[in-house]
Amino acid sequence: MLYFEDYAVGQKSSFGSYHVTREEIIEFASKYDPQPFHLSDEGAAGTHFGKLSASGWHTGAMCMAMLVENMKNQQHASLGSPGLDELLWKRPVHAGDTLRVETEIIEKRRSASRPELGLTKNRIRVLNQNDEVVMQSVNVGMVAVRNPAHTD
């Protein structure tokens, strides 16, 4: 199991391979974001999306799926996340794209009120098969501390 003590500022990771299908874009958008540019090529023509594009919340969810898979592979002791900042949807995500994730730890600190809890701030980038960033954000992650009694 990897705990708060095992992570260092500056540490980078690269992982994931999520193939985006037309069916999944339309299924997600039909339920959660039924705007025309997320439902059909016709609805996206004439907008800056150009053709059918995934909902930004769908891209975030696909990113999360890759993050969770990576945490499981790493045996990362995740306790969830209080939130995120500076989320930008930089380019449309289209059917046929394959997404991947790059992360970097930019800050870490122990919780002041909960000794068993550590917080890491992570820069997250989602890239497509052309190495173009489609989404980026700064996420806070809560992770278990291995030795809560240690205060260093």
Residues that bind a second copy (CB under 8 A): 28, 31-35, 37, 47-49, 55-58, 60-62, 64-65, 68, 71, 78-89
As measured in angstroms, the least distance from the Cβ of 85 to a second copy is 6
Residues 6+ apart with CB under 8 A from 88: 135, 136, 137
As measured in angstroms, the least distance from the Cβ of 64 to a second copy is 5
Closest CA to 107 of 2, 4, 3: 4
As measured in angstroms, the least distance from the Cβ of 11 to a second copy is 21
Q: How far apart are the first and last CA of the chain?
A: 20
For residues 55 and 58, what is the distance between their CA atoms, to the nearest angstrom?
A: 5
Smaller CB distance to a second copy: residue 41 or 152?
A: 41
Smaller CB distance to a second copy: residue 10 or 83?
A: 83
Closest CA to 4 of 140, 109, 98, 102: 109
Smaller CB distance to a second copy: residue 10 or 80?
A: 80
Smaller CB distance to a second copy: residue 86 or 152?
A: 86
